Amino acid sequence: MTAQTRTHVTGGIGTSVRRPDGVPKVTGNFAYASDLHSKDMLWGATLRSPYAHARLVTIDIGPALAMPGVHAVLTQDDVSGLPLFGQEEQDQPVFCDGTARYWGEPVAVVAADDEETAKRAVAAIVTEWEPLSPLDDAEEAAALGSTFREMKIRRGDEAASGAVVVEGIYETASQDQAPLGTEAGFAVPDGTGGLDLYVTSQWIHVDHRQIIACLAMEPDQVRCHPAGIGGAFGSREDISLHIHVAMLALATGRPVKMEYDRSESFVGHVKRHPSKMWYRHEADAEGNLVKVTARLLLDGGAYAHTSRAVLANAAFFTVGPYRCDNVVVDAQVVKTNNPPCGAMRGFGTVQACFGYESQMDRLAETLGVDPLELRRRNALGQGDVLATSGQTIEGLLPTIEVIDALESIPMPEPLASDDPRLLPGGTGLTTPSSKVVRGVGYAVGLKNVAFSEGFDDYAEARVVLTPAGVEVHTAAMEVGQGLVTVCQQIARTVLGIERVAVVWDDTSHIGSAGSTSASRQTQMTGGAVHAASVGLRDLILEDHGGDDLRDDGVYRTGERVATIEEVCANGPVEHLVQFRHPETYPPDENGQGDVHAGFVVAAHRAVVDVDPELGLVRVVRVDTAQDVGKALNPQAITGQLEGGIMQGVGLAIMEELVVDHGVIRNPTFTDYLIPTFLDAPAVVTRILEAPDSWGPFGAKGIGESPTISSTPAVVAAIRAATGRALTRVPVHPEDIVGI
């Protein structure tokens, strides 16, 4: 029996059902990791390096330990297991190992009766440092061979050339995910030498693997629990305070809570890699791409984290959603004393997209061709090969269709008001409407879904039927995106039963769901929930000779043959699935091969009003058309599209982590600017459905695409308004004014 889309179940796929955690979230009753506490708990706090690069000559924890109310002070000497952690490469010491390699690197942690005492104890630790010269320049690091990964892509004829050539150098700044919930964790000893951990995370099983190695404990001694998350956007894919809070709890035998404040959060998680990209596009006279040559340089900061995979994404998407037979890419991610970088929404493709879309606009201008027409002419689609890796696009990839859909969205009305709230700069500045110039820009972005390059990527889910309804058990982290709702909808639709609850299990009760990243959970955990639901339904129907399952039981030719209670007479009935996407492979020495499991394409149009004299920008509208495969929850999709666009707008004109000799100069919400309600453009969306061959009901992962091409679209619009080249994001007022 093949499960079919149910029509009689309420709250199935394709409907904008409300999220089950909505009521607790609007009433303040949702428990985030930072809300967890117990009466006997201690507070943890962290001593951090004041230098980006320095030798720790001496450290004296004595004065801190001697303070009343202080229960433990721990350093690298107290790490009982592997002294290093890291998701891909274990290269970062749990605490400073004698040399600090980035500003804010943890040196020691303290547990004390209260937060204030813990902070004072941190200040009481006496350290002597020998400052060293920080390696803070990516090109210098590249010249020194200080790299995490180097990639070479060679496809086609290196000697090929085109009649029309455009070249450019592009830079993107580091961006902070800035989720509103900072890093927080609660560690509770279990009285038998083990502990339970509740830490903000995007992937508790990969945390668990690293934590038990550093603690030298058996897997079942440490249980990582999914905790309430206040946003993530990549910042929680790597370890932050997990091992520290666990060590403090084990050392004191007491529950310990840690919570970073905003400034500490800025140093306490990985960033988006800053990049520099050299591009040369060659085309024939009609604008067909003949050859793309590029060098990409990403700064990974002090430790590896996910830099290798970020570089791969940047390199494989160097050309974007366009056909090109001859490609030369050299890509490096370097190791410096700058803040460590890792995952952020778009994961390497954001940087590349700013480069290739800027180049496509230059090419269009040089050829005198409409920028969208140039993109259509080169658009990658089903049956074509990815320009870089040579991988054939097996599934539907509606690049031309998203461009067409985007173009069909009516343009906004011209600026018709002198209301300063509608002018660049807003009420605080002095732009008269007569000085405002409007610009329109476009960009198209391509992204892979899930993990690539041969990684064994899977998600486990268990679907259980009980007399009270269906339970979906998973360890997939809900970070706000709405996976919880989608899992319910999928299970309801397959099983025909409305009562579905998602139950988050800890690492001892269920296998890995993989990371909540790479736009992967709707397809991966959604795929697992779908497959487990199909398996459970088939099992129940077979056991009871039924042909239909409903809220109140099993049916055969319209007659009920068993109630749900009867189905569960011997206990809950369940089915467990480990879901894998189609196999991928590592690239060969020329970067060739079937490295990706699936692709998503989106297009953006930005309309901006600019005051060229003051260099002020108001983003009026950002419109988008995106392929989602199958819209499982249209309202949640709109939320992802609008939210992702805002982070792309942020990178285009506001968000920049200012790093000076390795030191972050703006680690506060006062100085790191995030778009507010007054900065937010209107958004018009067009959702296309070109089903994928794997995953639930053809749905594709959609979380990252909204961010990827919105940044270059906004910059293209500012270029159109000002005529400036604007080769670096974020665009600052002085770039527009030309000073």
Per CB under 8 A, 346 contacts other proteins? no
With respect to other proteins, which residue has the nearer C-beta, 236 or 596? 236
Q: Which of 229, 403, 651, 729 binds other proteins (CB under 8 A)?
A: 229
User: What secondary structure does DSSP assign to 549-607, as a single string?
Assistant: EETTEEEETTEEEE-HHHHTTTS-EEEEEEEEPSP-----TTS-S---S-EEEEEEEEE
Q: Is 1 in the site for other proteins (CB under 8 A)?
A: no
Q: Is 344 in the site for other proteins (CB under 8 A)?
A: no
User: For other proteins, which is the closer residue by CB, 315 or 646?
Assistant: 646
Residue type, 649: V
**From 127, 307, 338, 647, residue interacting with other proteins (rule: CB under 8 A):** 647
Q: Does 116 bind other proteins (CB under 8 A)?
A: yes
Single-letter amino acid, residue 248: L
- 102 versus 672: smaller Cβ distance to other proteins: 672
- Measured in Å, how far apart are the chain's first and last C-alpha atoms? 69
231 binds other proteins (CB under 8 A): yes
Q: Which stretch binds other proteins (CB under 8 A): 226-234, 292-300, 317-325, 432-440?
A: 226-234
Q: Which of residues 451-510 bind other proteins (CB under 8 A)?
A: 479-482
Give dist(CA 61, CA 58) in Å, integer: 10
In the complex, the smallest distance separating the C-beta of residue 186 from other proteins, rounded to whole angstroms, is: 13
Q: Identify whether the C-beta of residue 231 lies closer than 8 Å to the C-beta of residue 179.
A: yes
Please select the residue that binds other proteins; options are 586, 676, 693, 723, rule is CB under 8 A.
Answer: 676
Dihedral angle at the C-alpha atoms of 698, 689, 449, 351, nearest 10 degrees?
A: 180
Cβ closer to other proteins: 108 or 645? 645
| Angle at 520 (CA atoms; ends 518, 521), nearest 5 degrees | 130
Q: Does 21 bind other proteins (CB under 8 A)?
A: yes
Determine contact, residues 95/48, Cβ cutoff 8 Å: no
Cβ proximity to other proteins: between 159 and 678 the closer is: 678
Contact with other proteins (CB under 8 A): which of 15, 30, 147, 412?
Answer: 30
* Count of residues in contact with other proteins, rule CB under 8 A: 61
Query: In sequence order, what are the beta bridge partners of 441?
Result: 606
Q: What is the CA radius of gyration of the chain?
A: 26
Amino acid occupying residue 334: V
- The least distance separating other proteins from the CB of residue 593, rounded to whole angstroms, comes to 36
Q: Does 162 sit near other proteins (CB under 8 A)?
A: no
Instruction: Tell me whether residue 382 is exposed, middle or buried, using C-beta atoms within 10 angstroms of its C-beta: 0 to 12, 13 to 18, 19 or more.
Output: middle
The CB-of-629 to other proteins minimum distance in angstroms stands at: 20
Task: Give the footprint of other proteins on residues 678-707 (CB under 8 A).
Answer: 678, 680, 682-683
Choosing from 11, 162, 226, 230, the residue that interacts with other proteins (CB under 8 A) is: 230
Q: Is 426 helix (H, G, I), strand (E, B) or coil?
A: helix
Instruction: Enter the tokens of residue 320.
Output: 């974007």
CA geometry: angle 320, 322, 326, nearest 5 deg: 95
Stretch that binds other proteins, among 257-265, 378-386, 589-597, 687-695 (CB under 8 A): 257-265
Short-list 191, 234, 625, 563, CA closest to 408: 625
Cis peptide before 730 (omega within 30 of 0): yes
User: Of 376, 417, 419, 365, whose CA–CA distance to 398 is shortest?
Assistant: 376
Q: Which of 668, 693, 725, 738 binds other proteins (CB under 8 A)?
A: 668
Instruction: Output the DSSP codes for 131-149.
Output: E------HHHHHHHT-EEE
The smaller minimum CB distance to other proteins, of residues 434 and 670, is found at 670
For other proteins, the closer of residues 34 and 338 by Cβ is 34
Residues 458 and 578: beta-carbon distance below 8 Å: yes
615 belongs to the binding site for other proteins (CB under 8 A): no
| Minimum gap (Å) between residue 601 Cβ and other proteins | 20
Q: Which residue from 644, 662, 695, 696 is in contact with other proteins, where contact means CB under 8 A?
A: 644
Residue 18 sits in the site that holds other proteins (CB under 8 A) = yes
Site for other proteins contains 262 (CB under 8 A): yes
The nearer residue to other proteins, 24 or 467, going by C-beta atoms, is 24
Which helix (DSSP H) or strand (DSSP E) does residue 565 occupy? Answer: helix 564-567
User: What does residue 444 show for φ and ψ, rounded to 5 degrees?
Assistant: -130, 140
Minimum CB separation of residue 730 from other proteins in Å reads 17
Segment interacting with other proteins, rule: CB under 8 A, options 159-167, 206-214, 514-522, 643-651: 643-651
User: Judged by CB under 8 A, does residue 67 bind other proteins?
Assistant: no
Q: Sort strands 663-664 and 222-225 into parallel, antiparallel or unpaired.
A: unpaired
Supply 656's token pair.
């920049």
DSSP labels, 477-504: ---SS-HHHHHHHHHHHHH--S-EEEEE
Using CB under 8 A as the binding rule, whether residue 180 contacts other proteins is answered as yes
- Least distance in Å: CB of 465 to other proteins? 28
Dihedral angle, C-alpha 502, 507, 512, 518, nearest 10 °:
80
Q: Is 545 in the site for other proteins (CB under 8 A)?
A: no
Residue 634 CB-half CA count within 13 A: 8
Segment contacting other proteins by CB under 8 A, of 98-106, 137-145, 171-179, 389-397:
171-179
**DSSP H stretches of helix in 673-709:** 705-708
The residues that touch other proteins, with contacts defined as CB under 8 A, are 16, 18-19, 21-23, 25-32, 34-35, 37, 115-116, 177-182, 229-233, 259, 261-262, 419, 421-422, 479-482, 635-636, 638-639, 641-647, 668-670, 674, 676-678, 680, 682-683
